[in-house]
Structure 1
Amino acid sequence: MSGVSPVPDPARGPDDDGTPDHGTSDRDTSADVTQTEGTNFDDIRADETGADDASGTGRSVQGTARTAAGPVASDSAGANSPVPLRADVLVVGAGPGGAAAAAHAVAAGRDVVLLDAATFPRDKTCGDGLTPRAVAELSTLGMADHLADRPRIDGLALHGWGARQEIRWPSSGRFPDHGSAVARTEFDDAVRDFAVRRGAHMVQGAKAVDVEMSGDRIASVIVEHDGRRHPIAVDQVIVADGVRSPLGKRLGREWHRDTAYGVAARAYVRSGRADDHWMGSHLELRGPDGDLLPGYGWVFPLGAAGGHQLNVGVGALATSRRPAQMALRPILEHYTESVRAEWAIDGPPTSITSALLPMGGAVTGVAGRNWMLIGDAAACVNPLNGEGIDYALETGRLAAELLGERHGDHTHIWRDLLVDHYGLAFSAARRLAGVLTVPSAVPLLGRPGIRSGRLMSLVVRVMGNLVTPEDSDLVARAWRTAGRVSTQVDHRPPFR
């Protein structure tokens, strides 16, 4: 069962079906994406697919929150939880970033309400891979044990132009030397459940549709739940509602399309190599007609705990000047066939979904006096490969830490913090990604590059988000220098 839905119509608005989509927790999905000149990202509908394969419910936990009926017990499912009258901290969106922010804030003693328009578990378009940076952040959160029965991914097996390189994740004092992979249907629900078990009050099926302002502060967030509108009085709001960020947009967030963005599609297949310790990455991506595309293909093993499946996907880079004019589904099906023998694939691809996402901090308006945007909502996504789980977990933690400082106004402090943490790397990566949207640049750089183990080690380190401000080696210094030069000539630097 593929769970495929119709191709979204870019001419229709996101609410043309009468259902506001504020409060969604992650990336927009549909059966296919065909990019054409002038496509408006904000007008592409979010049609969830693949969710029919999900099963199970959250387990019961105890917690308290104030509601119109007084204190009530909360549970990890939260599907029928009443909407509280107020929240010290309201987190909109219960994906990895929002759930991590909620868990950290609860641990710091805050009263947290976590809401999401979806009912968990739910699917999201993603490669499902966890970099060493994401694994480290899970450990900081307190969820290291969650990966105990999941694949240990030692590195990337890179392919292209007749060459193959196995590149291990680099050893680092800050990050472990391995990654992992967990399907988002399971992973997101696990992080959400962890936050609720810590004490966050979860409300599922609740859409944040508007705000009431008091001067330049959010006084209340208006939530639709069970067919009614409920105001939640708030002190602080963390906006983690995904790449389209409808609540962020209501608060002034704007995506600037003149830098590189990504389009991607993924599917699941059964495989005899689901326990492999290597992620597959094909840098020479070709369509059914044999044409070389400005993107790459991936194969991420999910292990026995993941149903002996692989996550197979394709991604492409685009800009407003060079949109990715491609139908992703036939490319994904062609790519799956091309790796079928190598990865011992059994059966056709199922649960096909696709996504479109801004990258590299290509947004402005990421904060106000008492609100912050995190994760995908703040375009904290690696411009070279679309990876964002590590950034989501990390920005969730950073936002919760900033709440503890009680400085009174997040507007400039949060933006500057994002710039300080990610600005140089995002700027350099966006510029390189823009180069890779030029068809002739892909073989020009890829053909000699894939044959150099040293160069590919650098690529893996950059694509894995493993260069930090604390690193002082030659590669790290060169990458930061490239970032500084790039920001000097940026028409619009990240987050500005």
Structure 2
Amino acid sequence: MSETAATSPSVRESADADVIVVGAGPAGSTAAYYLAQSGLDVLVLEKSAFPREKVCGDGLTPRAVKQLIAMGITFEDPAWVKNHGLRIIGGGTRLELPWPDLAAYPSYGLVRTRQDFDQILVNQAVKAGATLMERTTVTAPLIDARSNRIVGVQAKNSDREPVTYRAPLVLAADGNSSRLSVAMGIRKRDDRPMGVAVRTYFTSPRHDDDYLESWLELWDKSSGKDVLLPGYGWVFGVGDGTSNVGLGILNSTASFKDVDYRKLLRRWADSMPEEWGFTEDNQVGPIRGAALPMGFNRVPHYSRGMLLLGDSGGMVNPFNGEGIAYAMEAGKIAADVVVQASSRLTVAERERTLLSYRSILSDTYGGYYTLGRYFVKAIGQPEFMKYATKYGLPQRTLMRFTLKMLANLTEPSHGDAMDRLINGMSKITPAA
């Protein structure tokens, strides 16, 4: 086999695998779990070492909980904090909406910090038979010169020595920047929404709140006047004496490029009631931020032997900024496709099966994500948000519909009128 790679001749060879998964976040670990369960030889390469922190709101909707249950994860550990729904605050209204009562999804969400959440997932993959290599940084794809397909990766191991890993298929679950995707010529689309999230933790009496809390308006009162800040905020009780407090802002907002997000979070936290404890003295850890790649902002999701999963494929829900559920769902879809492809008898049949990954993702999420892009544009207009919070929030039936829409929680079939409307809108909306 003829191979080309941007590395020195000192690269040493390693044992082959059926599939290489780059990144042990929710997408990569879920894919590795299902691939290993199916009997494939799976190698997971993770640049960090567990446990490790990631910037996240730590909140899991019932959609994500369903995926955890499917992987055999149980929630007896008190570090899993259950929540019953979403509390929405805005326009002078405070509204508590329970998660929908559906057959397709559990009726509760969870909170668990990313400090050990990802490790729990990858441990399941390892138990299923996957091999995990930590502190292994993938530096470049290994390309077959004749077929122009990826046939492995170049990496540096925990000793910073160059090493080669070979497999006929590579799953890129290496996050928003996705060095592997860029090296393969798959770049981000500028016409897709992008968000930025910042968060920190505060010691707070609100740590055991059993509702996720979302603030649709961020008011800064530090100047003595009420000033509406761009973005939306959240307060999620972690159950360990702290609350995860953060905010997000979308690139559809006029001030997106000019905002100092950390100062914005600091100002918003300072405006909260004193008894909640969101003060610098009670802050646990720094304010940290991360990008939220939304609405399939990097495509194609399959090309030349490589599949994109999770943030590498821009799979964050534009409606609510949720990424974990969709990363895990994509991991399972990718695994199903790869398992089916591995059973095909000819190269042409295998490639046709692998290409189906694109259409499955498009059929599953394409129309819904297109609706989400329209939504992002609308909420980027301050006047729209003021009108929506003032007149929409008091309408409980409308907000129940909105919760289902934003969280993508509907019965696939035989649901109520709201479910049928949301599902119908997603189906007829083109997946651009």
| TM-score of the two chains, using structure 2 as the length reference | 0.88
Q: CA deviation at 1:209?
A: 1.1
Q: Is 2:311 the counterpart of 1:376?
A: yes
Partner SS, residue 289 of structure 2: strand
Match of 1:408 in 2: 350
User: In structure 2, which of residues 367, 371, 384 is the aligned counterpart of residue 428 of structure 1?
Assistant: 371
* Contact 1:264 1:355 survives alignment (8 Å): yes
**Which residue is 1:456 aligned to?**
399
Q: 1:443 to 1:342 in 2, by over 3 A?
A: farther
Give 2:169's aligned residue: 236
AA of the residue aligned to 1:204: E
Partner SS state of residue 316, structure 2: coil
- CA deviations over 1:242-264 (Å, ceiling 9, x no partner): 11111112223221122322111
CA drift at 1:369: 3.8
Task: Give the one of 349, 374, 399 matched to 2:334.
Answer: 399
1:213 to 132, 137, 143: 143
TM-fit CA distance, 1:285: 1.6
- What's the offset of the Cα at 1:162? 1.2
Query: What is the root-mean-square deviation in Å for CA atoms of aligned residues?
Result: 2.3
C-alpha separation in 2, matches of 1:467 and 1:378: 24
- Out of 306, 309, 314, the position equivalent to 2:247 is 314
Q: Is 1:186 matched with 2:128?
A: no
Is the 8 Å Cα contact of residues 266 and 353 (structure 1) preserved in structure 2?
yes
Asked if 2 retains the 8 angstrom alpha-carbon contact of 1:293 and 1:316, the reply is: no
- State the shift of 1:114 in Å: 0.6
Q: Which moved further from structure 2: 346-355 or 275-284?
A: 346-355
Q: Structure 1: how far apart are the matches of 2:148 and 2:361?
A: 21
Q: CA deviation at 1:348?
A: 3.2
Given that 2:316 and 2:326 are in contact with CA atoms closer than 8 Å, whether structure 1 keeps it comes out as: yes
Picking from 378, 381, 387, the partner of 1:438 is 381
Q: Measured at CA, do residues 437 and 136 of structure 1 come closer, stay the same or move farther in structure 2, by a change above 3 Å?
A: same
> Structure 1 pair 156/102, CA: closer, same or farther in 2 (3 Å)?
same
Q: Against the structure 1 CA distance between its residues 342 and 280, is the aligned structure 2 distance closer, same or farther, given a 3 Å change threshold?
A: farther
Distance 1:146 1:397, change over 3 A: farther
**SS of the residue aligned with 2:163?**
strand
1:291 to 202, 214, 227: 227
Asked if 1:256 corresponds to 2:256, the answer is: no
Q: State the partner residue of 1:7.
A: none
Q: In the TM superposition, what is the alpha-carbon distance from 1:93 to its structure 2 partner?
A: 0.2
Tell me the alpha carbon deviations over residues 176-227 of structure 1, each in whole angstroms, 9 at most, x when there is no partner: 1110100011101111222222221111111111122221421221111222
Q: 1:348 aligns with which of 282, 288, 297?
A: 282
Structure-1 separation of matches of 2:413 and 2:367:
13
Report which stretch shifted further, 353-362 or 424-433: 353-362
Mapped to 1, the partners of 2:229 and 2:410 lie a distance apart of: 28
From 283, 295, 317, the counterpart of 1:360: 295
Q: CA deviation at 1:449?
A: 1.1
Equivalent-residue separation in structure 2 for 1:342 and 1:465 (angstroms): 34
Amino acid across the alignment from 1:300: F
Please report how far the alpha carbon of residue 273 of structure 1 lies from its aligned counterpart in structure 2 after TM superposition.
2.3
Tell me the residue number matched to 2:418: 475
Contact 1:210-1:221 at 8 Å conserved across structures:
yes
Residues 29-108 of structure 1 mapped to structure 2, 5 A cutoff: 84-108=14-38
Q: Distance in 1 between matches of 2:429 and 2:21?
A: 34
Distance 1:467 1:279 in 2: 19
Shift in CA distance, 340/324, structure 1 to aligned 2, threshold 3 Å: farther
Measured after TM superposition, the shift of residue 427 of structure 1 is 0.5
Q: For 2:203 and 2:105, locate their aligned partners in 1 and report how far apart those are by CA, in whole Å.
A: 30
Cα distance change, pair 123–480 in 1 and its aligned pair in 2 (3 A): same
Question: Shift of residue 313 of structure 1?
Answer: 0.4
Name 1:137's counterpart in structure 2: 67
Say which SS state the counterpart of residue 227 (structure 2) adopts: coil
Looking at structure 1, the residues matched to 77 and 301 of structure 2 have their Cα atoms a distance apart, in angstroms, of 32
The answer (yes or no) to whether the contact 1:424–1:480 under 8 Å persists in 2 is no
* 1:412 positional shift: 3.0
The letter of the residue matching 1:387 is E
State the 1:482 CA deviation: 3.7
The answer to whether the Cα contact below 8 Å between 1:259 and 1:320 also exists between their aligned partners in 2 is no
Q: Distance in 2 between matches of 1:187 and 1:194?
A: 11
Q: Find the residue that maps to 1:433 and give its secondary structure.
A: helix
Contiguous gaps of at least 5 residues in structure 1: 1-19, 21-67, 69-82, 488-492
Q: 1:269: how far off?
A: 0.9
Q: Which residue of 2 is the match for residue 200 of structure 1?
A: 130
The CA deviation at 1:120 is 1.6
The question of whether the paired residues in 1 share the 8 Å contact of 2:232 and 2:249 is answered with: yes
Q: Distance in 2 between matches of 1:100 and 1:146?
A: 21
**1:416-458 C-alpha deviation (Å, 9 max, x unpaired):** 1110110111100111111111222110222111111112212
**Counterpart residue number, 1:71:** none
AA paired with 1:356? A
Report how far residue 411 of structure 1 moved.
Answer: 5.5
Q: Check whether the contact 1:147–1:180 (CA below 8 A) recurs between aligned residues.
A: no
Q: Name the CA distance, whole Å, in 2 between partners of 1:155 and 1:281.
A: 11
Amino acid of the residue matched to residue 254 of structure 1? R
Q: Provide the secondary structure at the position in 1 that maps to 2:209.
A: coil
Cα distance in 2 for residues equivalent to 1:315 and 1:299: 12
AA aligned to 2:332 is: R
> What is the count of residue pairs matched by the alignment?
406
Q: Quick one: structure 1 residues 121 and 471, their matched pair in 2 at CA, closer, same or farther if it must change by over 3 Å?
A: farther
